[in-house]
Amino acid sequence: MNASFSIAAIAAVCVVTLTIGALGFRLSRTTSDFYVASRMVTPTWNASAIGGEYLSAASFLGVAGLVYSLGADMLWLPVGYTVGYLVLLVLVAAPLRRSGAYTIPDFAEARLESVTIRKLTSVLVLSIGWLYLVPQFKGAGLALHAVSGAPTWVGNLIVAVVVLINVVGGGMRSITLVQAVQYWIKLTAISVPAFVLLSWWMHHGQPIPQAASVPPGQQWSQPLSGFGGVDHPVYATYSILLALCFGTMGLPHVLVRFYTNPDGAATRRTTSIVLALLGVFYLFPPLYGAFGRIYLPHLPAGTSPDAVTLLLPTAVIPGVVGQLMSAMLAGGAFAALLSTASGLTICVAGVVDQDLIRSRLRRFTGDDARAVNGFRISAIAAVIVPFWLSLAARDIGLADTVGLAFAIASSTFCPLLVLGIWWRRLSTAGAGAGLVVGGTLASAAVLLTIFGQVHGGWAGALLTQPAAWTLPITFVVMTVVSLATPKRIPRGTARTMVRLHAPEVLSANLDKQRP
């Protein structure tokens, strides 16, 4: 396969990303620029930026890879990624924006009036962020391997370095401007080759996926058939659906984007546009999984199923057209993982800097250390651990790894946000107990999964898809402990509730009337 187009596309994406990052560096001089680019962004523009940041390597490559290898049950993944925004919209969007919180630790501290809870959420943001970064790095490695044959660590390293340079140099401003355009680039990159493949398929006999040599009843195209050796497909389907639907609201890089909306109502409108943008994008990845079954029933040895999207065009369409389409997909995949990784790194670094590093740094250097240096040190910490993990962890699918990040987010931050926003009797002790219990259970399941201590059967199903039991447990712990500790309900709860739920027109009057 002639890979020069694809390599050129990947190189171009990296260079453009770095260039824009460098331009952004000249624009952002102060710390506040680093944190929030601008609050004056229209809902459509903002929704594009959310979509651009959200659609990661898992969406661009991982969904097709899992649909290809595990069949129809994996169609639930993009559904879950999208419905997660619906759940977020109806449960937390406007109140979170009105809270004025920029990150989940900000919200936790404001709502529960406790620095301990804040630190606890910071640690969780860090672990979710790390886990979510792993598949971005791995995606880069396998994409580069698929198009050029380079060892997988090379791609991992390239993306880690580009993200680090970009984040350390540019900060949020460049990212905000770029993310919105990113969505449209990604949509083009995934849809044009899909249409080309589709028309090729239409004009060349419309073959359908052949039933491979699988046990009877296990059909690739049918849901719940256990194709690919999935144990307990019904449980797995519900558990992953729960994790995705209720985990989205707890992802570190999601809340930040809402901050760029001027008010709660605009946040809602933005989110409903996000639903449309995601829905359009997710029409395409399953197509690649299906075409892979038709045209590439056997992948070359050593190739991950996650690379099936990239291999398809050259395998199907001879000549320059196929190569160009593959190059487009490779560039799009890199754009996807670079944007998600940059956004995540910024959020994780921001949280680590503010809550875990800055005070220590100051103790060390007196007041000399500029705030920005803490941010840079944090960014390095945010990237190095997932880079190591991307090399050390057991080989599981990109979208599966992302699913684990969703599982932790749904078993910790979802109960915290939902109860915090809607329930006056949430106590500091209850929230803390829930975060510790849910975080511990979900993380234990995740660690066992990624370091390969999981076998089949029910134990395997429960550990690889933990959300169905960890999410309810966290809700129960938070509720029961809160009811048992009514004295630990934050004093300002009533006032916070007004702030979260009252339309801004009224809150503005409130502020004016305060001395």
Partner 1 sequence: MTTDIDEQTRLGELYMATLIRAQWRLSMSVLASAAMMIGGLPLLFLFVPATRTLNVGPIPLPWLILGVLIYPAVWLAGRYYVRQSEQIEGEFTELVARR
* Position 83 contacts partner 1 (CB under 8 A): yes
> Which residue, 145 or 269, is less far from partner 1 as judged by CB?
269
| Binding segment (CB under 8 A) for partner 1, from list 147-155, 277-285, 295-303, 338-346 | 277-285
Question: In this structure, what token pair is assigned to residue 32?
Answer: 């506040």
Burial class (CB in 10 A: 0-12, 13-18, 19+), 497: middle
For residues 361-379, one letter each, b for 16 or more C-beta atoms within 10 angstroms of the residue's C-beta and e for the rest, the string is beeeeeeebebbebbbbbb
Shortest Cβ 197–partner 1 spacing (Å): 15
| Binding segment (CB under 8 A) for partner 1, from list 48-56, 216-224, 300-308, 351-359 | 216-224
> Which residue, 241 or 402, is less far from partner 1 as judged by CB?
241
Helix (H, G, I), strand (E, B) or coil at 459: helix
Among 19, 30, 210, 222, binds partner 1 (CB under 8 A): 222
Among 13, 89, 167, 311, binds partner 1 (CB under 8 A): 89
Shortest Cβ 486–partner 1 spacing (Å): 18
Euclidean distance between CA atoms 128 and 131, whole angstroms: 5
* Position 502 contacts partner 1 (CB under 8 A): yes
The 3-class secondary structure across 337-401, one letter per residue, is: HHHHHHHHHHHHHHHHHHHHHHHHHHHHHCCCCCHHHHHHHHHHHHHHHHHHHHHHCCCCCHHHH
Euclidean distance between CA atoms 297 and 284, whole angstroms: 19
* Position 234 contacts partner 1 (CB under 8 A): yes
Please choose, from the candidates 398, 401, 417, 392, the residue with its C-alpha nearest in 3D space to the C-alpha of residue 475.
417
Q: What Cα–Cα distance (Å) separates residue 121 from each residue in 136, 168, 193, 272, 508? A: 23, 23, 41, 27, 29
Contacts of 434 (CB under 8 A, 6+ apart): 412, 415, 416, 474, 475, 477, 478, 481
Shortest Cβ 299–partner 1 spacing (Å): 22
Are residues 347 and 252 in contact, defined by beta-carbon separation less than 8 angstroms? yes
* Position 269 contacts partner 1 (CB under 8 A): yes
Shortest Cβ 322–partner 1 spacing (Å): 24
Shortest Cβ 500–partner 1 spacing (Å): 9
> Which residue, 483 or 498, is less far from partner 1 as judged by CB?
498
Q: Which of residues 435-494 bind partner 1 (CB under 8 A)?
A: 494
> Which residue, 107 or 282, is less far from partner 1 as judged by CB?
282
Among 115, 211, 276, 320, binds partner 1 (CB under 8 A): 276
Q: x/- string (CB under 8 A) for partner 1, residues 93-132?
A: -x--------------------------------------
The 3-class secondary structure across 123-159, one letter per residue, is: HHHHHHHHHHHHHHHHHHHHHHHHHHCCCHHHHHHHH
* Interface with partner 1 (CB under 8 A): 72, 75-76, 79, 82-83, 85-87, 89-91, 94, 206, 208, 219, 221-225, 234, 237-238, 241, 265, 268-269, 271-272, 275-276, 278-280, 282-283, 286, 290, 422, 494-495, 497-498, 501-503, 505-506, 509-510, 513-514
